[in-house]
Structure 1
Amino acid sequence: MNSHIAVCRRRLPVWLIPMLWTFALGLWGLSRQHSVWRDEAATWQVARRTAAEIWHMLGQVDVVHGLYYLLMHGLFEIFGPSTTTLRLPSVLATAVAAGCLAVIGKRLAGSWTGLGAGLAFGLLPAVQFYLQEGRPYALVVAGSAISTLLLVTVLKGRGWAMRWAAYGGTVLVCGLLNWLSLLILPAHLATLAWTRAGRGVWTRWAAASTAAVACVLPLILFSRGQSEQVSWIPPLTWHMMIGPAVLLTIGGLGALLDRPRAGQLSAAVVGLPLLAVPQIALIGISLAQPLFLDRYILFSMLGLALLIGAALSAAIRAAAPRFPRASMWILPVAVAVAMVALLPQSLAKRSPDSRVDDVLAVAADVRRLKETGAAVLFIPAARRDTELVSPEAFTGLRDIALMEGPEESGTLKGVEADPARIRAAMLTQQRILLVTDATEVAQPVSAERDRVKTSVLKEYFTVVADQQIRGRRVTVYKRLGTPGPVGPGGMSAAM
């Protein structure tokens, strides 16, 4: 058996097994029982717009995701909208990241480190969550893995100008996908300092990094004008530090087993800064502007996986002299045990219930409960994403609050009429279908328009049907008695 494993390790490139392994994990339950949640719904509905409409929208909202939306627009144009088209880019990107990790680990500490890091990466809970997410975070992880591989390559003495250009270009693309990915630069800087890199390396790294940051800077400055989008992120609390503390503890143990030395390139010298620096930097930023979400620094999991690979490799080296045959099984047994231990989490993350809601499930309820000619309302207006993703489910219903559609207004949810006009329009209806959040996830009504919708429904209508499914709720209201006259400012039912 030893000889078979040794032959496989010699014949197969070290990146192939982790890449295929991660790709298989990504394909497993990819459709999540044909569910799409609100964040992915934003990708879906924007990707179906024309390039001109997307460009118009970016001037108002979500400019930080502009490059990603344009990419997904192209894929939707070629392959059509589906959960596979929505999520497969993230699966492929994560598989590429796992392959890059394997190569990095091999160059730093041998094949076992590379294999361990690449295989462990796809099993990390945070990675499994975003592995199948129709958002840009996995693409940022792939770019971060590529830039780290390029850095390791030049630090190993292969400092061609083209590699530095590729490094700067990769950091730039990641920055355009999510400018917080630039936090990888201080992580790489820490690695350079730890290895006591020469002046030439410092100069080239500084030039490549500065060029990338300079190109991303306009996006950063422009996006500050749209900071209202992240106003919902809560301020830092002590309990939010538990997760980073656990990750840093695990990473620190892996670094100790790798026995890093100043001036020497190793898995710990690359992995520990990659894990710790983005986490600590985002915590620091969040003290001024709450931004602490794990997805913004998902690429730091590359460092954790690399340190886990180093720990597994250390265990194999320690066992090899006394138990040469058994040592060869440490890695596959560790992966199998981790897979079994994480199986409940893995299954949960591939379930529709793993996300806060499902815009497709509620669309099915709308199809069943609607009556042609009835009106439809959304509380809050962002729940209009159900109609934007599944417009056919709303055929025959009139969106009586909408004054200007999302495409025309350059927004994600459209522009609604003022409260008085919404009230007047509601009072002309006999039947209204309301799409809102399920009770367990609903936030208190705050917008004046939504308070008007709620009060009119309560005073003039009665509930005739009510369905809740996967975080969303559809309620059908019927008018009590005879509609009264529409006051001044009334809105046409066709509006």
Structure 2
Amino acid sequence: MVLMPSGLMLLLGAWGIRRQDAIWRDEAVTYDMAHRSLADLWPTLQHVDVVHGLYYALMHLWFVVYDATLGDVLGPVIGLRLPSVAAMTVAAAGVALLGQRLVGRRAGLLAGLTFACIPVVQQYAQEGRSYATVCAVVVWATYLLVLTAARPRRKLWLGYTALMLFACLLHEFACLVLPVHGAAVMLARLPRRVLRGWLLAAVTVLAGLAPLAVFSTRQSAQISWLMWPDPVQLLTFAVLAVLGIVCARVPVCSRGPIGLRALGVPILLLPTLLLLLLSHVEPAYVDRYVLYYVAGFAVLAGAALARLLRPAGEQGQTRGRRLRWTTGLVLVLTALLPVDVHLRSPDSRVDDVTAVAHAVRKVAEPGDGLLFMPSRRRIWMAALPHQFRGLNDLALAKSPLASHTLYGTERSGDAIRDRILAVSRIVVAGDPYGQPVDDSDQEIAKRTTLRGAFAICSSTDVRGARIAVYGRPGICGAAGGGRLAHGAG
């Protein structure tokens, strides 16, 4: 029951894990932060990304071991994603056990297999970020809650509290599962001592999270790019929510004091709905922040499938009806196959740091100037800094490491203008056409100076970026410029 779902999840996580060695910008941040010393990491977190601080520290320890053993053999991309594959494998096992505890062995098996087949699960299983780990910890905390409700014991309460606090410290929005657990406890009409135990655990978790939550409000500008929910993400949630509610209507017998519907439906719906409500105050909705909601769908679907696919003749089940449901399930999995294939291509993420670095290396010549537009795109060089060697970053005042930031600090607009005018060729790594432009003095100085004193020699579009070579009038027609234009295609 556990080995099949976890084995399938491990297989799907390993399938196409390299993604042609493409890394997207958030993974580049993870790689950069994980390779800073703990002494450098701490002051950086005081400026930025404190919400991911525990995850970065754990990834730092992981890379200390990985780089010394498997790094030269498997490469950095696999090292970046292996922890997420392992986390989702553990999560699949937890979902199977949760389904078994709530309904039965067959339901647990199908819940775990369903979980592994959900495309969004496979997506974050192959991403070097904290979301797969948070999902796994929340699933196992939920499993412990179900065990504790059946046999309240201090050790189980301590384990539940520790796991929930760990999940919340990995990412603050894991706390949105606490109302889910509270709703399950109350809907199940458990004895008051169980309710008091859960309340004590919840208060302890929130008290442990409070210092991080308060401090992180100083860095709320980091999610200022969030304007409105992504339609595709909302559609994914809506589809799973509708299917989950339909599955919840299939009659099943719950085995423990906490019923399937009392737990599965709140996990599926509440975290996302609460995050959407919060977004009306300050935009904060991204589906990965509450990724664990898919566990609710998986247990509901697993229980429904266990009943609908039970052996012919059992409780009046007909062989033809079972065949129809099996055929429908095969058709659904077949329809999801193109989605699964797409998730393992570089085009499945908003940009491709590896492609950007290679494009820059292809057109650059030693001594060229280099500009990132906007400055936060400097993260593109974090994972492959050797590809930018020999280029002069004209706007950079202090490197990301020296300034304890993600993107480094830049000079004033006037200083950037003077440094741009002092060179004859510049490679610009920037956003594609049509993206909003920053209105800081530095970005305005870059745009106006390039527009007034330079011409575009060549440009190359890669996933999520545009690499352009600018030259002084007459430079583009020189031998080097001709080679660059040809190389840009």
TM-score, with structure 1 as normaliser: 0.89
Give the SS at the match of 1:283. helix
Trace 1:34-433 onto structure 2 (pairs within 5 A): 34-80=21-67, 82-157=76-151, 159-235=152-228, 243-258=236-251, 264-317=257-310, 319-321=312-314, 322=316, 336-433=330-427
Secondary structure of 1:396's counterpart equals coil
**Alignment partner, residue 470 of structure 1:** 463
Question: 1:235, CA displacement in angstroms?
Answer: 4.0
SS in 1 for 2:309: helix
Q: CA, structure 1 residues 327+150, in 2 after alignment: closer, same or farther (shift >3 Å)?
A: farther
1:90–1:132 contact (8 Å) kept in structure 2: yes
* Deviation for aligned residue 1:236: 6.0
Task: Tell me the distance in 2 between the aligned counterparts of 1:106 and 1:377.
Answer: 56
1:30 CA displacement: 0.3
Q: 1:236 and 1:470 mapped to 2: Cα distance?
A: 22
Distance of 1:116 and 1:240 partners within structure 2: 25
Q: Give the root-mean-square deviation of aligned CA atoms.
A: 2.3
Matched position secondary structure for 1:389: coil
Preserved CA contact (<8 Å) 1:194 1:263: no
SS for the counterpart of 1:40 is helix
- Residue by residue over 1:440-460, the C-alpha shift from the partner in whole angstroms, topping out at 9 and shown as x without a partner, is 6x3234322112111111211
Q: Which shifted more, 374-383 or 230-239?
A: 230-239
Q: Secondary structure at the match of 1:450?
A: helix
Q: Secondary structure at the residue paired with 1:75?
A: helix
Residue 11 of structure 1: aligned partner? none
Report the AA paired with residue 444 of structure 2: R
Q: CA deviation at 1:327?
A: 8.2
Inter-CA distance 121–263: structure 2 relative to 1 (3 Å threshold) = closer
Structure 2 unpaired stretches of 5+: 476-489
The residue type equivalent to 1:18 in the other structure is P
Q: Which amino acid aligns with 1:63?
A: V
Query: What code does the residue aligned with 2:53 have?
Result: G
| 2:103–2:252 CA contact under 8 A, matched in 1 | no
Equivalent residue, structure 1, for 2:478 = none
Q: Percent identity?
A: 38
Cα displacement (A) at 1:335: 5.5
Kindly tell me: are residues 404 and 201 of structure 1, through their superposed partners in 2, closer, same or farther at Cα, counting changes over 3 Å?
same
Whether the 8 Å contact between 1:406 and 1:414 is mirrored in structure 2 is yes
For the residue of structure 2 that corresponds to 1:122, the secondary structure is: helix
Deviation digits for residues 91-129 of structure 1, max 9, x if unmatched?
111111110111111121111211111011122122122
Q: What is the match of residue 19 of structure 1?
A: 6
Q: 1:129–1:237: structure 2 CA closer, same or farther, 3 Å change rule? A: closer
Local SS of the residue matching 2:19: coil
Contact 2:94 2:140 in 1 (8 A): yes
Q: 1:68 to 1:287 in 2, by over 3 A?
A: same
The change in CA–CA distance for 1:211 and 1:242 in structure 2 (over 3 A counts) is same
Give the match for residue 437 of structure 1: 431
8 Å CA contact 1:260, 1:269 repeated in 2? no
2:233, 2:287 within 8 Å by CA — same for their partners in 1? Answer: no
Q: Which moved more, 1:376-385 or 1:448-457?
A: 448-457
- The one-letter amino acid paired with 1:71 is L
Q: Deviations over 1:179-210 (max 9, x none)?
A: 11011111011111111111121121111221
Deviation at 1:464, TM superposition (A): 1.9
CA contact (8 A) 1:194 1:262 kept: no
SS at match of 1:304: helix
1:89, distance to aligned residue in structure 2 (A)? 0.8
Q: Residue 484 of structure 2 aligns with which residue?
A: none
1:331 deviates by 8.4
8 Å Cα contact 1:195/1:263 also seen in 2:
no
Q: How many residues align?
A: 467
